[in-house]
Structure 1
């Protein structure tokens, strides 16, 4: 601020709100603390024409299944995994659930993968670090609905297509199954501890 030819800096605490003789000259902005940066950034999903489809996927009312392989040539496709994912994709398509294949692989690697597996995927190119942040499994599956993650699966734990008729119900069912497994493990551990203590008393 300037007054009588002299300039002075003010903060919000000592700003001369009631003294109208001060004239504004300029302001300085200083970062006190860096703002929150989300763990998943650079969420850009380019199709073969280079058009970003990220917002279409995140805003989709219908569920969307993402098959994620940060690098196709490093993925675990053996033991029928690729065939199971292709079958899953086809059955979900009949239920109105679209599947996208997200990868940071080169066009040549994608072409070879598609030709060898005759997979018929809708490929989207994305940042490798971002994909690994979403899921470490290669390949891994992520189910989205309206931008919310409804399920995540490792390639060794692929879901049953019949369970996808209601993604929210599937998500709750998956949670209940995990809770039941944890409860069963607790019972087993408790029984083992009881048996050890019983044997020591003898």
Structure 2
């Protein structure tokens, strides 16, 4: 992992997908109380995974005195961030923690230790998110089999690919149920990519 400017191709692809989907969903009403409640609950569940993953990573790094290839500036950004910027920074750090795995390279020892616990928490997230979606569809007298099948699959998945599915979830939800738009988790990653692009353009 090269934390200073390296962003995984998966994160880049997710950011591009998010930009495309956001344009098509921008005109949808935000006044639906059921949608607002569902978004808040799903965000809370999603953020719990980010919090636990990053906190566990930092604790393991301290206890093992291992050198992280993630620049300290990202954790400093996280400690200073507030509200939505906090979780977009957390999402970026989560991506960097898993960058080697996402690129098909050997993960470091700390991540290998964390993966089993992470997969348990992510499966729990998908299970709880499915329940929130079911409640939303019942309240609005609608349904969407595509997203329900998606979360149903991942709530029982044991493969490492569940990490990638978790990262894709905000975009997948926005794509399949546009009225349920979670916060912009890719904001910080997009800012850094744009900054790097400007730096290369000036070079």
TM-score per shorter chain, which class?
under 0.3
Higher normalized helix content (fraction of residues): 2
Give me the TM-score of the superposition, normalised by structure 2. Answer: 0.24
Structure exhibiting the larger radius of gyration computed from Cα positions: 1
